[in-house]
Structure 1
Amino acid sequence: MTRGAAMLARHHNPTENKCMKKTALASLIVAASSLWLAGCLDGSSSSNDNAAPAPGETAPDTRVRVLPYLQNPTDTAISVIWFTDTDVAGELVVEGVGSFTSEPELVEALGYGDSEVEYIHGERNFGGIHADVAAGQAPALPYRHVVRVEGLSAATTYEYQVRQPGSETLMEAQFTTAPAVGERASIRFLAMSDMETEPESTEKNVAWGASALVIGGDKLATDPATYDRLYPVDQTTGYRANIQYAMERQPDFWAIAGDLVEKGGRQLDWDEFWRHAAGEWSDFASSTPIFPALGNHENYWHPEGGSYTPPAVMRSYDKWNSYWELPRNYGTDERYEKRYYRVDYGPVTLITLDSSNGDDSDPLKDTNLAIDGVQSRVPDFNRGSEQWNWAVSELADAQAKGQVIFVQFHHMPFGTGVHSLPSGSAGIPNNEDNQSGQPMRIYHELFERYGVTAVLAGHDELLEYVQLDGVHYWDVGFAGDGLRGPGYAPTTDYVPFNQLPTEAQETHWSAHGDAPEIWNGNQLIDGGKHYGFLEVEVRPAGSHDYEVIMTPRYVFPLMDEQGEVTGEFAHRQYNKVVRVQVQR
């Protein structure tokens, strides 16, 4: 478990967590027996009107909807957030620091549309999401608990516990504060993109085309014999395995370059995200802070109609805003907050940009032709915009402080997928895409000028890499959704490789083209496209410099000789490890 996390859950839903270990049950009994004793540790305690039940009182039955997860760590502070279905205050106990009482807040933005209620109670709810909700009813609106713990020591690990009256869920984990800014420390973080969670991912296998290289064709083309082939495990299974591998790597933080959910305006898709990150399927986020970027899917869908209409975009943002506590950018519009921000974590600076929408008057400067940026209150990213000027200031400051700089946003600027075609409305078969990443190339001059080490992106759902003018670009794709090739089968002749600058063509690598499948009869034994993540390690080198090691890792579904998956996964890495010396 990440940093020794032990989130022990026993929910009211009898179908969940049936395999709890006996040792966990022992811990549960001990903790439950001391729950809500008077007093706290040597720190101070906050209070609120929704206080925990007094001795002798019984708290209402409470379901923990999202397990505690970490946000906005600094060298002296961190936030712990969790969600319940009642307004009873909870208690956060940090060992050696103190006890803190939460102030539950009803979050009306996290409601459900009629179609979502129908799905919960329909025959195709294969994953059993909200299986405990009464027939015909929607899940109750949740209450958010946020506790900010301050006055902590830098680069220090703390055990913590969240106690929630009325719930049978015991929550224990640990968090680690960031090293002081500029401190010469080793940092490891993971980057994912495009998990696009939704309940429909269960029992839904995606297309899995193979490179045409094995049949003598171009490596970026697709073997026609695999046009209709499906991946051997469904998306839920693949993403769950991916999360388990990620936890094993024990990163300091977890970056997500957009498309966390399939539909940002659909509550069920967010519920599915948290089942993986802080719920019944893992507690990764309970010990590993998440730094997310908005993708196009985080601006998408309204239950009463509309995909990228202003009501859909604003509904989606309200859900995004309800979950994340991120550093402020002090934008002129309150809805610009949490869309772009800067994080300093020891010697590392991560700058997250919002590539959702550009200049609506010029398709060549816009990444989403369907979004009205003014009506939807989505910031422009182009030269001279508020976001651009903010990025210039933050990049210059991070460089002046000698930080190792990474930039994260969703739309890959230098890729070979369909979203790397020129921006336009003529359609993909006519070599134009209305959600192109090419307009984000405008930032390359800034990245080169201010010494950005790597750019982390997604959108094309390809795992690929290019180097251009010393900047390393990754599409970290394949987290848990599509396993695409550069083109959409059966038409694969619009791969925009010739759209890349010469240096990017020469340095290009992709899982589709450069990791060919190796079969032994019906059994896949190596290679191919699989769910995974990019691991980034930043290590001190010499007296002042750093070495950055970027390793794409993946989970490989094991097969028997008949080609049937066994249910087990091997943890592997692609043969593309990029090492960079960063001089300071």
Structure 2
Amino acid sequence: MRQSGRLAAAGVATLILLAGAVAPAGGAGSADDFRVLPYLQSPSSEGIRITWFTETDEPGRLTVRGPGIRGSLTTEVGGELLPELAYTDAERAQQIPGLEPGSWLLGADNYKHTELIDGLRPGTRYTYTVEQDGSTFRGRFETAPTADDWRQIRLIALSDSETEPLGRVQKREWAPGAGADGRPSAAAGSAWDQVHGTTTLSGTRVLRYPLTEDEGLRRNLAVIEQRSPDAVLFTGDLVQGGGYQPGWDEFFRSTAGAGGDLLTSVPILPAFGNWESFGALNGGYGTPDDRSPVVRSRAKFHAYFDGPANGTPAHQDNYYRVDYGPVTVLTLDSNNGQPDDAAANYAADEKLTGREYTGPGTDTQENFTREQYEAAGGTDLSDFGPGSVQWTWAERQLAEARAAGQIVVVQFHHVPYSSGEHGLPMNHALTSGQGGTPMRVYHPLFERYGVAAVISGHSEMFERSFVDEDGDGTGVHYYDVGVAGDGLRGVRREGATLDTAPLRYNPFSRWTADQSETERWVAGDGVPRLEAGGKHYGHLEIDVERLRGGDEIARITLTPVHVFPVLDDDLTVTRTERRTYGDQIVIDIGSDGRPTG
């Protein structure tokens, strides 16, 4: 962890005040010649990958300086035209209320420049410069430490940013949680409705959140950047449709562009989400006779991200391993379960109701089958079930990491244990058709090999579950961190409306932001104003500290963080603050890398 991060770690509960827009701080000179600023991937103790995009075929010049490099390391990096990132006619013709037509569109061409820098020293800071046409960008990065020589590591996990240009003007429904009786009126024409708006959701009028999706994500990322993490885990649903190019433009605008530059100095570890297979206005999931929108959608993810090799070229980027010092992060692809399944496969009188459960099922999505995908030309689907190539790879990585005494964290998109929208199996009457329960098949492996935590998203919840299948007191903590900047859902309800009781389908749930963190409203000139609590945009901070002496070698602290909107008496957001929820978890790690309790 960089020095600024170590200093920040001493005050986890400290409030950080933010106001206004977030702008890149790392660049020098004009950035007009960059479509996407340089961003970091595939960190290791020996190097890192630097990638950027332009709109012309001019090569760029990458220069790296730092310890062990005599003078500087300079490389000319050519650009590769990626036609799969071109705008469609539907995208060029799109109208978005509240935005000037086409104002969110960039140039027609996408040229990818990428270089894997290796041969560097572990745990060392370097600076880099990218000269592209008439523009220069200066950034920095730090290589990962070795497993033997480290002090502190900080990872940040978040999910479901689901970026799109509409997010610049759209405020999402804010599902009520515990203590919501004190909320302002959600009636049409009420004070809240006049400032932020309200909407009808499942037959119940609810408040809209006071920040747009874009503001929520950017302020969330700004808080993350101030914490100086060593890497950021994005566990899927990065964009509102993987086949929707403006969604990718918005994602990088917020992370490596005009709206924020976190990824220019902090490497990203992304996972495939279900939205990365969705074409949005370019055909959605397609039809049973034509799943080409899904193929095109997944191709865009592959275009932007280059993960470490996993031994199966057809599955490149779907799942991979990154060792950051003593921490092994395994990223899995939870999108293709076999055999394929769908809610329509179960007759009405066969469907489960209430809290009934007969098993996890085999498939996390009913939207397309493997046969349909491959008939459309797709070749990259990776089954996650027992006996599959991915399963075998994952078990081998777990065994190798355990033999090396590594601390293991796993991430994938579909949360296995959830109280939310996607927490029910395919044979339940209330299933979304995209339930994450099939990923429970991995739990015996995770418990056997001593996985410390599993990070997911998908239900757009902020939830922690704890599963100890063998009853020895040492289990696995599962998180849904789907609060990056899109939906703000609450727990699944027994009935169709939000005023019915929580279904409580997940018996392993230990904490949710909407039900465990009571909203506390205070009156100001007759209009209630939120003082604390409730569900907000945020992320999970994962701090790993080395211990000296004793039986434990390390301590992991997992802190759920939210970006709290401070309102004045007119219900206007005056600033946002970094706050932590009360469910901080501390895990001690033994000499073999396993949690000790």
TM range (shorter): 0.7 to 0.9
Aligned to 1:188: 154
CA contact (8 A) 2:22 2:218 kept: no
CA contact (8 A) 1:257 1:410 kept: yes
Aligned to 1:36: none
Query: AA paired with 1:180?
Result: T
Q: Does 1:228 align with 2:206?
A: yes
Q: 521-530 or 249-258: which moved more?
A: 521-530
Greater relative contact order: 1 or 2 (C-alpha under 8 angstroms, separation 6 or more)?
A: 2
Distance verdict in 2 for CA 1:224–1:291, change over 3 Å: closer
Name the SS of the counterpart of 2:87 in structure 1: coil
Name the SS of the counterpart of 1:388 in structure 2: helix
Question: TM-score with structure 1 length normalisation?
Answer: 0.82
* Displacement after TM superposition at 1:497 (Å): 1.9
* Displacement after TM superposition at 1:375 (Å): 3.9
Aligned to 2:173: 207
- Aligned residue among 72, 79, 98 for 2:42: 72
CA contact (8 A) 2:340 2:366 kept: no
- Aligned residue among 478, 486, 489 for 1:481: 486
Name the SS of the counterpart of 2:425 in structure 1: coil
Query: AA paired with 1:66?
Result: V
- Structure 2 counterparts to residues 427-466 of structure 1, below 5 A: 430-466=429-465
CA contact (8 A) 1:418 1:495 kept: no
Distance verdict in 2 for CA 1:392–1:494, change over 3 Å: farther
Q: Does 1:408 align with 2:390?
A: no
Q: Does 1:117 align with 2:92?
A: yes
- Aligned residue among 255, 264, 276 for 1:298: 276
Deviations 1:55-80 (A, max 9, x none): xxxxxx97310000011111111111
Alpha carbon RMSD of aligned pairs, Å? 2.8
Aligned to 1:102: 77
CA contact (8 A) 2:24 2:258 kept: no
Deviations 1:91-134 (A, max 9, x none): 11112431111111111111111111012xx463628875576x
CA contact (8 A) 2:104 2:246 kept: no
Aligned to 2:363: 366
Distance verdict in 2 for CA 1:78–1:20, change over 3 Å: closer
Deviations 1:15-71 (A, max 9, x none): xx99899xx99x64xxx9xxxxxxxxxxxxxxxxxxxxxxxxxxxx97310000011
Distance verdict in 2 for CA 1:243–1:467, change over 3 Å: same
Deviations 1:538-574 (A, max 9, x none): 11123452100000111111110232222x1111111
Name the SS of the counterpart of 1:497 in structure 2: coil
Q: 97-106 or 476-485: which moved more?
A: 97-106
Q: Does 1:312 align with 2:305?
A: no
Distance verdict in 2 for CA 1:348–1:432, change over 3 Å: same
* Displacement after TM superposition at 1:432 (Å): 2.2
CA contact (8 A) 2:201 2:497 kept: no
* Displacement after TM superposition at 1:415 (Å): 0.9
- Aligned residue among 302, 305, 318 for 1:321: 302
Aligned to 1:354: 333
CA contact (8 A) 2:171 2:212 kept: yes
- Structure 2 counterparts to residues 168-179 of structure 1, below 5 A: 169-179=135-145
CA contact (8 A) 1:369 1:434 kept: yes
- Matches of 2:165 and 2:212 in 1, distance apart? 12
CA contact (8 A) 1:62 1:85 kept: no
Q: Identity of counterpart residues, as a percentage?
A: 38
* Displacement after TM superposition at 1:477 (Å): 1.6
- Matches of 1:18 and 1:464 in 2, distance apart? 28
CA contact (8 A) 2:364 2:433 kept: yes
Name the SS of the counterpart of 1:365 in structure 2: coil
CA contact (8 A) 2:22 2:219 kept: no
Distance verdict in 2 for CA 1:250–1:152, change over 3 Å: same
Aligned to 1:540: 546
CA contact (8 A) 1:211 1:223 kept: no
Deviations 1:386-416 (A, max 9, x none): 1111111000110110000000001111110
- Matches of 2:298 and 2:24 in 1, distance apart? 36
Aligned to 2:582: 575
* Displacement after TM superposition at 1:493 (Å): 4.8
- Matches of 1:541 and 1:192 in 2, distance apart? 27
Query: AA paired with 1:523?
Result: R
List runs of 5+ in structure 1 lacking aligned partners. 6-16, 33-60, 134-138, 217-221
Name the SS of the counterpart of 1:419 in structure 2: coil
CA contact (8 A) 1:77 1:177 kept: yes
Aligned to 2:13: none
Query: AA paired with 2:418?
Result: G
- Matches of 1:444 and 1:492 in 2, distance apart? 34
- Matches of 1:209 and 1:87 in 2, distance apart? 47
* Displacement after TM superposition at 1:215 (Å): 4.7
- Aligned residue among 505, 508, 511 for 1:509: 511
CA contact (8 A) 1:4 1:173 kept: no
- Matches of 2:423 and 2:96 in 1, distance apart? 38
Distance verdict in 2 for CA 1:123–1:389, change over 3 Å: closer
- Matches of 2:203 and 2:506 in 1, distance apart? 27
* Displacement after TM superposition at 1:305 (Å): 2.3
* Displacement after TM superposition at 1:212 (Å): 4.7
Q: Does 1:145 align with 2:145?
A: no
Aligned to 1:82: 52
Q: Does 1:254 align with 2:261?
A: no
Deviations 1:201-241 (A, max 9, x none): 1111111122255559xxxxx99997421111111111111
Q: Does 1:286 align with 2:264?
A: yes
Aligned to 1:245: 223
- Matches of 1:143 and 1:459 in 2, distance apart? 31
- Matches of 1:20 and 1:283 in 2, distance apart? 5
Name the SS of the counterpart of 2:490 in structure 1: coil
Aligned to 2:197: none
